[in-house]
Chain A
Amino acid sequence: AQKVTQAQTEISVVEKEDVTLDCVYETRDTTYYLFWYKQPPSGELVFLIRRNSFDEQNEISGRYSWNFQKSTSSFNFTITASQVVDSAVYFCALSEKETSGSRLTFGEGTQLTVNP
Chain B
Amino acid sequence: GAGVSQTPSNKVTEKGKYVELRCDPISGHTALYWYRQSLGQGPEFLIYFQGTGAADDSGLPNDRFFAVRPEGSVSTLKIQRTERGDSAVYLCASSRGRGETQYFGPGTRLLVL
Contacts and interface: CB of A to CB of B under 8 A. Distances in A.
Given A44-B106, A44-B107, A45-B104, A105 B45 contact: yes
Interface of B: 31, 33, 35, 40-45, 48, 55-56, 59, 89, 91, 93, 95, 98-99, 101-107
Interface of A: 4, 33, 35, 37, 42-47, 50, 91, 93, 95, 97, 101-109
A108 B41 contact: yes
A8 B73 CA distance: 38
A4 B43 CA distance: 12
B58 to A, nearest CB: 8
A102 B101 contact: no
B33 A102 contact: yes
Contacts of B43: 45, 91, 104, 106
